Amino acid sequence: MNAGIIGIGRYLPEKILTNHDLEKMMDTSDEWIRTRTGIEERRIADEKINTSDMAYEAAVKALEDANITAEDLDLILVATVTPDRPFPSVACIIQERLGARKAAAMDISAACSGFMYGIITAGQFVQSGSYKNVLVVGAEKLSKIMDWKDRNTAVLFGDGAGAVVIGPVSEGKGIISFELGADGSGGKYLYQDEYISMNGREVFKFAVRQMGESCINVLEKAGLSKSDVDFLIPHQANVRIMEAARERLELPIEKMSKTIHKYGNTSAASIPISIVEELKAGKIKDGDLIVMVGFGGGLTWGAIALRWGR
């Protein structure tokens, strides 16, 4: 059974927080943020909006795009590090709201790599024939765990959600190969106590190395080469890290998704948000070979080579 993306949707909060807005809140500048990260603005959710609210909105759109109902879902996976509360899980909250009565539900905590972990887990259930339709959501309200006095982290993150339905696809389509990894010894470089804390230098070094390596590894596992890649969708964390992955694949700049300037780093939501953006722009077409790659706190990482289409 081939497993792939059969539906996709996203939700972005209305409020836009620009670099110029941040200049009024802390010792930073638009130029400082843009040159170091590539970010110009990000979305911030209203106080009344929870992670589950954003996850629900993205999920509704993904189900509609997949042309299935919530009753057709067998499993719901939500990748998040900002659940509404420790439990019940965001997955259980949206299971009830969607009316997905026969679906099992759980959250996945792998930080910015969470969506990769979710898609690969979903793919295993579909490929084995155990389940037919799995909803995978990446949703984050990072604004609630941000120290707005720390310019090293507060300028980076945004809120949002993206969702996909993973289901059976035709021969040659869907997930071709994947890689997941973790290095717990690097947990001290990116973590949350009350707020997000990050050793930017160490995370940068790890990400530049790992993103490129993971892209090459999934291509080798699939028996494919760099020249086979039609489009790269990296986790939107830092434009310099993304560029390093693109250069490792020897791809022209127009073959890499870049949404970080508009939405910042939305953690587990960044890849699905970017996919929707590129589909709307006509940059992803049926039959394209897509490489998705992410890294995050843990430290964790994941990559997928996927043939787009149903």
Q: Does residue 89 sit in the same domain as residue 184?
A: no
Q: Does residue 163 sit in the same domain as residue 30?
A: yes
Q: Does residue 9 sit in the same domain as residue 154?
A: yes
Residue 3's Cβ-side half-sphere holds a number of Cα atoms within 13 Å equal to 25
235 is annotated as an active-site residue: yes
Q: Does residue 165 sit in the same domain as residue 178?
A: no
Contact 305, 219 (CB under 8 A): yes
First to last CA, the chain: 12
Q: Does residue 156 sit in the same domain as residue 267?
A: no
Which is the catalytic residue, given 92, 133, 235, 238? Answer: 235
Count of C-beta atoms within a 10 Å radius of residue 102? 11
Contact 140, 55 (CB under 8 A): no
Q: Does residue 99 sit in the same domain as residue 19?
A: yes
Nearest Cα neighbor of 174 from 308, 9, 276, 7 is 308
- Residues 6 or more apart in contact with residue 20 via CB below 8 angstroms: 30
Q: Does residue 24 sit in the same domain as residue 128?
A: yes
- E-strand spans in the chain? 2-11, 16-18, 41-43, 75-79, 104-108, 134-140, 160-169, 174-182, 190-192, 196-198, 231-234, 289-296, 300-307
Question: Domain ends where: 117, 146, 169?
Answer: 169
Buried b (16+ CB within 10 A) or exposed e, 137-155: bbbbbbbebbeeeebebbb
Q: Does residue 9 sit in the same domain as residue 119?
A: yes
Which is the catalytic residue, given 2, 19, 112, 217? Answer: 112
265 is annotated as an active-site residue: yes
Which is the catalytic residue, given 50, 133, 238, 265? Answer: 265
Helix axes 239-249, 200-222, angle to 10 degrees: 30
Scan for tokens 């289409």, then name that residue: 309
pLDDT of residue 36: 93
152 is annotated as an active-site residue: no
Strands 289-296 and 300-307 turn out to be antiparallel
Q: Does residue 198 sit in the same domain as residue 66?
A: no
**pLDDT lower than 50: segments of the chain:** none
Q: Based on the structure, what is the number of domains in the chain?
A: 2
How far does CA 122 lie from the centroid of its chain?
Answer: 15
Question: Domain ends where: 149, 169, 189?
Answer: 169
The secondary structure of residue 84, as a DSSP letter, is S
Question: Domain ends where: 122, 137, 169?
Answer: 169
pLDDT digits (tens, 9 = 90+) for 43-59: 999 999 999 999 999 99
Q: Does residue 9 sit in the same domain as residue 44?
A: yes
Q: Does residue 39 sit in the same domain as residue 162?
A: yes
Q: Does residue 248 sit in the same domain as residue 161?
A: no
pLDDT of residue 102: 97
Domain containing residue 206: CATH number: 3.40.47.10
Domain containing residue 105: 2-169
